[in-house]
Structure 1
Amino acid sequence: MTKTVCIVGAGPSGLVAAKTLLHDTPKDSFKVTIFEEQSRIGGLWPKDPGDGDGLVHPEMVANQSRHTMQYSDMPWHEDTPQFPLAWMVGQYLEGYAEKYPGFDLLLGTKIVEADMTPESTWTIQTVCDGQKEETTWSFDYLLVASGFFGDPKMPSFIPKAPSIPIIHSSRYRSLENLLGSGAGRKGKILIVGGQMSGVEIAATIASHHSSALHSPTSPGVDNASELSVHHVVQRPIWIFPLFTTPEPKSSRPRFLPVDLNSYDLSKRPKPLTDTQGHITKEAAKFANSLFQGALGTDQSEFSSLLRVAPEYSEEQPWLAMSDSYLGFVRAGNITVSHGKLEAVEGSIVTLSNDEKLDDIAAIVLATGFEATNSINFLPANVLEGLSFASDHPEHPVALAFHNTHHPNFPTLGFVGFYRSPYWGVMEMQARFVAKLWSDTIGSPSMASALEADKGLERTLALRDDPRCSQFPHGDYAFIMNQIASALDMQISPLPSGLVVPEAEKGTPMDILTPSRYIPSSLPPNRKAANLKNITKTNETALSALNSNRFLAQAVFRSLLGTWTLDRTLKSKLPSHPSGRFVGTAKFQPRKGTRDGREDDQHVSGPGALGDEYLYVEEGEFRADNGLVFRATRKYVWRYVEKRDELSVWFTREGKTGNEGKRADYLFHIVEFEGIEPSAPTSCPWTGPRSEGQHQVAPSTKRSKPTTTKGWAAKAGHLCIDDFYDVKYEFRFAGVNIKDWTMEYDVKGPKKNYTIAGVYSR
């Protein structure tokens, strides 16, 4: 007999639950209806680059790679970045819904009430957009997939009619959106909240501000130079970049997407134990030491306020993800304060340490979300049975076996209803609920798992635990393993021929992804999709460890900010004096531009322009003949992920103002050792100015990699009759560049000199 199921929400949790009930159980076991309050599927995730109405910025970069943010048998498109943009996630979900149809979908339909009958079935009341009349439905089961991030949480003391803009971080889209293009506001843009969303939105706003200051186009906001970004955090937090290394002690590390390193099962003691929840002092010390080792720093080099000092070593660690936040702090683009926001009066705020910050232009609150409205349709007796507590936002209800159900309500299930749900966990939760509802015989493994489960007691104990972890239910590997064990599901081995090479201490990496947990029997098309996922992850890791893939990205990220530059020029011709330049070199982030590459057909579409810096060096040159003068020069540095390419471009010589910030034509592409050099090619972006006079060429003598203390790279540029042979060396400390050098060897009919520059912090 077919059982009817009501699923609340068409986000990642609701869609994978529907797919699992319809496609991973015997045919006609369930009939599924999804009710979605929004006019589209996807939940938090926008459907396209222009979808700005949701709770996630369409251009926000996911903080997990596509190898973790995936379903087991749904590959991403080949052109998707390693860390997809939010709108790309929305399109992935649309593709998933199309691939696994069969459910009824009611968009623009809100569940206003759900009542459990004496027979434990469910009566559902819904209302459609713009209508008052309610519709009544009956279902055998109710599955809550409405998401833990229901509504933005706003402090109670925020004025109802503030004199300055105050918005939640989920509503931020641009400086214009925050300030108004004609407002002419001056002062501090204050970001409040020091966990994941606070760090991410602070970096986003700082990048928008930097782009407004250094872009060759109109800044879009008045008085950009009179604005600053200020971030209030309660305590230091570890900031991880999106690409980290399995060799943090090396000055020549390889780089991988952060989650491929984090979810390497070879580093976990067996059997797996839960590392989240209650954190002892000893566990905290171990975790903080592990994070410092992985990053290669205690973060004091960026700011004393971000240093995870010894006095914090026994505190449970907090972490966030950002490629640019630390660089912005070190460069002064973000100013950090410790404290907690206590009051807002006009343009003055008061922190918990009695510090007052004045001249506030706008406030962005990264204060999290309320989960209570995501389940406010449940009847009072059910909420009471779930130990509902609105004053415990991290643990609003107590659920059993990794937040999937409650034993007192056998027809009520949950998928993805916990803080920071992983997609693999959502899929496993959906499989567990489907098994729970369809297993009429009862398997020993399920029975054993349910009998041993302490989920209810654990949640209640964590509510008032001062040593509760940042993500109480966040041990991804442990949860995946526990649910798999209950389902009699074994982790799949890595395919033959795709084993990742040894990365650390002679132990092969054993990367966990959702695709390594699959049902015992799949149809051929789904087996092929699953194998494609596993293959792509392993190919990514192999290429990173064997050919320095992602090294260019790591170098580009780490350049942000100001460097001290000491450069010597040695000329062999009397017409060009030798000398020494001492000054600064600034890498100033801005939105990617098309300048200089208008005819490049490969640079098109969202995200294709990549990221870029306006490079500005300023200082004093002292020639050996006694001549002293101030000198400055500009370049544009670019990184494009599709090509995994780092390049340097000349700016428009002799131009001032915004015109002087524009890229003119390509200087060279930085080629790292271990990557085969390309043949000399005419620069495809030079335009009419070059007329074939400028060529991008590999530097000389590239047959063997150079053995150095850091990563070596070379490039070449032919300018009419002069050849520029360029050499780089980047030395890392952990995930960040410690110092680097660049040398030019320039030879031509009238030129013969060498320039050697050392860049240090």
Structure 2
Amino acid sequence: MIEDYNVAVIGAGPSGLVTCKELLDSGLRPIVFEKNDDIGGVWNPKTGSTWDSLHVNLSHNTMMFSDYPWKEGTYSHHFPSAAEQFNYLKSYAQHFELLQHIRFNSRVTRVQQCQDPVNGWEVTYEQASGIERTQRFDKVVVASGMFQNPNAPNLVDFEKYTGQVSVAKDYKNALPYHNKSVVVVGDSYSSFEIAAEIAECAPGSKVVHIIRRMPWIMHRMLNRPKPPGVDNLPGAPIHPLDLVFFNREATAMIDSMPGGIAADAAFKNGLLNMICADQQLNQDLHKDPATLRDLFMCTSDTYTRVYNTGKIQLLKVPVTSINGKHFTFEDGTTFDADCLIMSTGYQYQLPFLPKDVQDAMEYNPSNRLLPIILYKNVFHPSYPTLGFVGWFLNTYFPIMELQARWISLVFADEVSLPSREVMEQGMEEERKIRDCTSVRPQFPHSDYTKIGDSLAKEFGALPNFDHLKVHIARQNLLDKLSKTLLQSIIQVPNCCTITNKDDQTLTLFDFKK
């Protein structure tokens, strides 16, 4: 019965699916509202933000949930394709029997706290027929995703452009751009990938790429960083970039650097200067790590190579006028463009939340780093029955899973939230990240080891690493001892002996008896 559901989850992308699964594991009864006719969120091939040739930026190790590893043969090398990632989510939903808890073609239009907060929340949703319905829930989880509403174009004279306009979210492949002149705007991951693909795969195309600033262009497979003082990395083993950066060794190395935020950025820029060596060989793409005050990166295995062929014209100056299809730039460059592709980010919208809730969370849809201020990006002390999953920039699968598990345990009364004072202190830390002006971070929580540990600690899932080290040391010793014993058995079939520290020979097995 519908009335039996007690938790509403908004969105059936990765964050909504893992939330549904965790709530079920905690004995709760969720219903997931999904505005489209299928799961997947950004990975949905029909309504998401992927294109035909896209492969994920991070390896399959990071793009999965802990209790459902990728099966051999279901992904391409280290980095699954968009289609494979979508199939993984479909398989995950089927394996844990989540689909029966999802209400498709149901767009949430309003989430309003009941007049008596003890009674929970009223969720209003619009069905495909246009009919609106309202249902009461004890708790609500917002897992609607951040990449739904592309930013409006911010180009001088944009309204005067008469060519074809699209956004990166709608790009599928290079076929429509054969023999076309194309302007790609943006310095995001997708803009570099799309510009390179059109330039290389659309015969007769001409591509102008407009950026505000040059990022470090990283390959998906990187050399593993070495400690300070090592001059180069060429001989280091190759790993997926997430295994290089998202580990305790890398975190400890960075934490050991003295000098605070500025020194941290300087060290990382110096490291990226070595990692992005092919980019640094081209003067147009070159970055001077000594003058950088912030970190800015993107991932592309093809952009530098394609740019070196001369097929992309890169402009770092603003547009000063557009007339029809004719672009004029600040440096005097002109270009006639048949097509304009905007890849300039997203507005992070929460239109279904009432203004008092938005105001309490300091909601700002234009803030790229932190559009809302929450404790650990999950809870607000004024609304303990409202949780958020995946609502800070670049929340990957393991972090979503930890957020969802924490919410489910809190909602099931198995774990208590910290005091209001502690939560307010945590929110102040988020404000410091949001308002930082000295070294502006690209992502609010780029150290995924730290943010993961911080979340795990909230519900008792963080291991005692000192005890773990002792356990591992003991296990290694036992493994070595087992090998010694096995060799003895093989060498002396009738008995197995071992000499202790007092040089006493002990018979452990005697096959004569």
Q: TM-score range by the shorter chain?
A: 0.7 to 0.9
Conserved? CA contact 2:223–2:234, under 8 Å: no
Partner of 1:399: 374
Q: What one-letter code is carried by the residue in structure 2 that aligns with 1:379?
A: P
The verdict on how the C-alpha distance between 1:441 and 1:40 changes in structure 2, with shifts beyond 3 A counting, is: closer
Instruction: Give 1:354 deviation, angstroms.
Output: 4.8
SS at match of 1:114: strand
Partner of 1:710: none
Partner of 1:204: 197
CA distance in 2, matches of 1:301, 1:488: 48
With 332-341 and 416-425 compared, the bigger mean Cα shift is at: 332-341
Instruction: Give 1:250 deviation, angstroms.
Output: 5.4
- Identify which of 219, 243, 262 aligns with 1:241: 219
CA distance in 1, matches of 2:396, 2:321: 35
CA distance in 2, matches of 1:206, 1:11: 32
- Higher strand proportion: 1
Partner of 1:359: 336
The gaps in structure 1 that reach 5 residues or longer are 213-223, 500-761
Q: What one-letter code is carried by the residue in structure 2 that aligns with 1:66?
A: H
CA distance in 2, matches of 1:59, 1:148: 22
The verdict on how the C-alpha distance between 1:3 and 1:453 changes in structure 2, with shifts beyond 3 A counting, is: farther
After superposition, give the CA deviation of every residue in 1:377-422 in whole Å (9 maximum; x if it has no partner).
1112111111122342433221112x10111111111000111111
The verdict on how the C-alpha distance between 1:266 and 1:473 changes in structure 2, with shifts beyond 3 A counting, is: closer
SS at match of 1:77: coil
Instruction: Give 1:450 deviation, angstroms.
Output: 7.4
Partner of 1:83: 79
The verdict on how the C-alpha distance between 1:98 and 1:255 changes in structure 2, with shifts beyond 3 A counting, is: same
Matches within 5 A, 1:206-245: 206-209=199-202, 212=203, 224=204, 227-245=205-223
Conserved? CA contact 2:381–2:423, under 8 Å: no
SS at match of 2:304: helix
1:339 counterpart = 2:317:
yes
After superposition, give the CA deviation of every residue in 1:659-701 in whole Å (9 maximum; x if it has no partner).
xxxxxxxxxxxxxxxxxxxxxxxxxxxxxxxxxxxxxxxxxxx
Conserved? CA contact 2:174–2:197, under 8 Å: no
SS at match of 2:42: coil
CA distance in 2, matches of 1:259, 1:271: 15
Matches within 5 A, 1:504-515: none
Q: If you compute each CA radius of gyration, which structure gives the higher value, 1 or 2? A: 1
Identity fraction in percent = 26
CA distance in 2, matches of 1:57, 1:381: 38
Matches within 5 A, 1:653-664: none
Conserved? CA contact 1:201–1:366, under 8 Å: no
SS at match of 1:454: helix
After superposition, give the CA deviation of every residue in 1:18-70 in whole Å (9 maximum; x if it has no partner).
111111x2xx3x11000000110000103xxxx34432114311001001111
| Larger RCO: 1 or 2 (CA < 8 Å, sep 6+) | 2
SS at match of 2:145: coil
Partner of 2:61: 67
1:439 counterpart = 2:413:
yes
Partner of 1:473: 445
- Identify which of 488, 507, 517 aligns with 2:460: 488
Partner of 2:94: 98
CA distance in 2, matches of 1:202, 1:479: 33
After superposition, give the CA deviation of every residue in 1:173-197 in whole Å (9 maximum; x if it has no partner).
22333x4x7xx64xx4211111322
CA distance in 2, matches of 1:191, 1:370: 19
Instruction: Give 1:363 deviation, angstroms.
Output: 1.5
Partner of 2:113: 116
Partner of 2:21: 19
CA distance in 1, matches of 2:253, 2:450: 11
The gaps in structure 2 that reach 5 residues or longer are 227-231, 476-513
With 71-80 and 286-295 compared, the bigger mean Cα shift is at: 286-295
CA distance in 2, matches of 1:262, 1:396: 25
Partner of 1:267: 250
SS at match of 2:29: strand
Q: What one-letter code is carried by the residue in structure 1 that aligns with 2:149?
A: D
CA distance in 2, matches of 1:450, 1:488: 20
Q: What one-letter code is carried by the residue in structure 2 that aligns with 1:456?
A: M
After superposition, give the CA deviation of every residue in 1:586-621 in whole Å (9 maximum; x if it has no partner).
xxxxxxxxxxxxxxxxxxxxxxxxxxxxxxxxxxxx
Instruction: Give 1:310 deviation, angstroms.
Output: 4.6
Conserved? CA contact 2:434–2:444, under 8 Å: no
SS at match of 2:7: strand
Q: What one-letter code is carried by the residue in structure 1 that aligns with 2:111?
A: A
- Higher helix proportion: 2
Measured on the aligned residues, the alpha-carbon RMSD in Å equals: 3.1
Runs of 4+ in 1 over 6 A off after TM superposition: 270-275, 492-497
- Identify which of 224, 241, 255 aligns with 1:258: 241
CA distance in 2, matches of 1:273, 1:422: 26
Partner of 1:31: 29
SS at match of 2:87: helix
CA distance in 2, matches of 1:261, 1:310: 20
SS at match of 2:352: coil
CA distance in 1, matches of 2:362, 2:107: 24
Q: What one-letter code is carried by the residue in structure 1 that aligns with 2:351?
A: N
Conserved? CA contact 1:19–1:100, under 8 Å: yes
Conserved? CA contact 1:305–1:338, under 8 Å: no
Matches within 5 A, 1:578-657: none
- Identify which of 227, 250, 263 aligns with 1:282: 263
Partner of 1:294: 275
